[in-house]
Structure 1
Amino acid sequence: MIKIYHNPRCRKSREGLAFLEKSGEKFEIVRYLDNPLTREEITALLKALNISPIDLVRKNEAIWKSDYKGKELSDSQLIAALAEHPKLIERPIVLMGNKAVIARPADKINELL
């Protein structure tokens, strides 16, 4: 089953959702701002994305700039920040099995299909 970690207020996330809808594939929408991910779920996503925690951070968010920018943070601390402030998570993320992509642009989803 395909999952899209989606923020409906984000244009890029809506583009990813539209791409999946056009693909004809069945998928599940995970509104991660409404139901924040646990540290374990974030860790699993990082493994599927094959990236480090810092690469999942939206560095232009106000909370990042005010609370975290310029600090030396461990991977564990970054994962905790992502769990506490889900707005910091890059979007959309599309997961299929044990592989995932940050679908920016939306056609990166083709890497999974």
Structure 2
Amino acid sequence: MDAKIYHNPRCSTSRTTLAAIRDAGIEPTIVKYLDTGWDREQLAAMFADAGLTPSQAVRTKESLYKELNLAAASDDEILDAMVAHPILVERPFVITDKGTRLARPASAVDEIL
């Protein structure tokens, strides 16, 4: 099975999810999204595949969320902010042949392994 994790090594949930994928015998492609960034179409497709809206996938506890006043923003505005500031995307996202999940909690990844 192919798997890809959009990973932040500083995040404990992301590290736990990566370990769960490996424990299932899968070596995923690891994308350090803070280094690579996102494009709008990629994010929109990933959120749609996961059944989420940008407002459901934004890190509301991130200081930029408050600084940019994203609580009052539309999904399009949030998506634009996520492209400009990759840290705003909740983590980790995992994509396998069985689907796309935001692995929060980490056990949510089990559904697609």
In the superposition, the TM-score normalised over structure 2's length comes to 0.92
- Structure 1 residues 7-18: aligned runs within 5 Å: 7-18=8-19
- Structure 1 residues 3-42: aligned runs within 5 Å: 3-42=4-43
Which amino acid is 1:101 matched to?
R
Structure 2 gap ranges (5+) = none
Cα distance in 2, alignment partners of residues 44 and 112 from structure 1: 17
Give, in angstroms, the shift of residue 66 of structure 1: 1.2
Asked if residue 99 in structure 1 is aligned to residue 99 in structure 2, the reply is yes
Asked if residue 90 in structure 1 is aligned to residue 95 in structure 2, the reply is no
Q: Which contiguous aligned blocks of 4+ residues in structure 1 show a shift greater than 4 angstroms?
A: none
Cα distance in 2, alignment partners of residues 66 and 19 from structure 1: 34
Which amino acid is 1:89 matched to?
V
Contact kept? 2:98, 2:112, Cα under 8 Å: no
Give the corresponding residue for 2:76: 76
1:50-98 Cα offsets, whole Å, 9 max, x none, are 1111000000100001112442x22221111111111111111111147
In the superposition, the TM-score normalised over structure 1's length comes to 0.92
Give, in angstroms, the shift of residue 27 of structure 1: 1.4
Give the superposed CA RMSD: 1.3
1:8-45 Cα offsets, whole Å, 9 max, x none, are 01111111111111110231001100000100110111
Cα distance in 1, alignment partners of residues 68 and 80 from structure 2: 13
Cα distance in 2, alignment partners of residues 54 and 60 from structure 1: 13
Structure 1 gap ranges (5+) = none
Q: What's the % identity of the aligned pairs? A: 38
